[in-house]
Amino acid sequence: MQEKNERYKKEYHAKYKQDENRKTVQKSRCPYAKKCGGCQFIDMPYEKQLERKQKELKALLGKFARVSPIIGMEDPLHYRHKVHAVMGYEKGEPIAGVYQEKSHRLVRVDQCLIENEKADAIIQSIRGLLKSFKIKTYDEDSDRGLLRHIMVRVSHATGEIMVILVLRSPILPSKNNFAKALLKLHPEITTIVLNVNDKKTTMVLGQRDIVLYGSGFIYDSLCGVRFRLSPQSFYQVNPLQTEILYREALKLAKLTKKDKVIDAYCGIGTIGLIASRQAGSVLGIELNREAVKDAKENAKHNQCKNIEFACADAGEYMVEMAQAGEKADVVIMDPPRSGSNEAFLSSVCRLSPNRIVYISCGPQSLARDLDYLTAHGYRTERIQPVDLFPMTVHVESVVLLSKRMVDSRKVKVDFSLEDMDLSEFKGKATYEQIKAYVLEETGLKVSSLYIAQIKKKCGLDVGENFNLSKSDNARKPQCTPEKEDAIMQAFKLFGMI
């Protein structure tokens, strides 16, 4: 899986490397563009950005299904409603900024064109208060200093604001006076939380939260469902496009009140809770205990009684469900940018839902995972990109996969390989037996024509009732390498080769 992912990455970037290297003589609209590198497309017209993303997705995913036109933003600036600043020093002055792309060099950023403007202003106000309160920023080389990071979440729906100060120690000098001074500058702040991260690590947040002011959480809404956000909650940074993304996902899912849905990687229950309004029942599975706690609170707050949450590894949980004979009609999966692993995808196939809705923020890992799913009994029906990250190379996609069905007009051969005595088939097997074996073992459907083609390759008798064209140049479907391998395995099993 790892090798395949690396191959997709190379393919993805190689096709358009020329554009990446193109220099522009005009001054960048962003003063930090050369040092930061986070917004690769900042000086490209937005229409061109969408065209490029569409072209790249088509090149990478077009072999699976048609890639629908990408859904862009009306206003592609200041869309990030969660803003994170790394703290440091420059010429003796505290600075807030970001790490330069592919490095650990801190770049001072006072205002960012894709970040929420109110959040940026709050971060600069905090930076301005540090000297008077004698609060030192953290230096990771010496492992000294107190303030490591500032994180600000702004609710798009309610306007509530959460400020998170990530400290090396739980002790903030004059913390109450500091909070009062900050609130005087920004009375719109809803809550202030101290997060303690005392480990020498690249992780931003630690495990301990101390509420300094307010409730310690804020609320936001998506698709008519209200969500409680704590400091540890995973929540999409672009709420406007996230709502579009989730609506597209549920449109593809075509849920009914008869459907049992699994929301894998459910986080705080966002898409599962939205889906629960259309589905019969929803099970959200998430490994992070704090996220599950928030998810249960969100279900209670929204009075969603047909959804449950399990704190577990989603892959292992689905294997246990399959072993217990349980079923699901739809699996919704929204993995990290690195995609899923083979163990998880195998568990999905074992559970055998009729439909899979895959929400992806990594086209390369998506292509790799679609390769696996389409080789194990599923076909790709729709691919809908949504631009959640304007000015950057990143893009989200929603994919609908459905289970391949055996043609009801054909004879169905139902057998279990474990129960069969294969000795009686040594050296011979019918076309239907070979088809059934390949379907059970690989999820692939192979035709009699394909089996006959491979028989001919191996010098085997195709059978007197099966007519292959005498001309090798005759126009006919050719067996794919993947299906050829599966048929060859069947020949070996039945002792034919």
Active site residues: 361
According to DSSP, the β-strands at 355-360 and 396-403 are antiparallel
| DSSP per residue, 473-495 | TS------HHHHHHHHHHHHHTT
Rounded to 5°, angle at Cα 37 from 193 and 335: 60
Instruction: Provide the CA 274 distance to its chain's centre, in angstroms.
Output: 17
Q: How many CA atoms lie within 13 A of 349 on its CB side?
A: 25
CB 396 within 8 A of CB 388: yes
Q: CA-to-CA distance for 324 and 62, rounded, in angstroms?
A: 37
Q: Which of 72, 383, 92, 492 is nearest to 241 (CA)?
A: 72
Q: Any idea which residue has 């939260």 for tokens? A: 209
DSSP, res 123: H
| Amino acid identity for residue 477 in this structure | P
Q: CA-to-CA distance for 438 and 446, rounded, in angstroms?
A: 7
Q: CA-to-CA distance for 357 and 382, rounded, in angstroms?
A: 10
CB 110 within 8 A of CB 83: no
Structure tokens at 196: 């303690």
Q: Which of 385, 279, 380 is nearest to 51 (CA)?
A: 385
CB 83 within 8 A of CB 151: yes
Q: How far is CA 283 from CA 37, 361, 497, in A?
A: 40, 23, 47
Structure tokens at 178: 């500091």
Residues 6 or more apart whose Cβ sits within 8 Å of residue 278: 250, 253, 255, 256, 257
According to DSSP, the β-strands at 208-213 and 218-222 are unpaired
β-bridge mates for residue 262, sequence order: 283, 331
3-state SS assignment for residue 460:
coil
CB atoms within 10 A of CB 232: 18
| DSSP per residue, 63-118 | TTS-BPPPB--SS-SS-BSEEEEEEEEETTEEEEEEEPTTS--EEE-S--TTB-HH
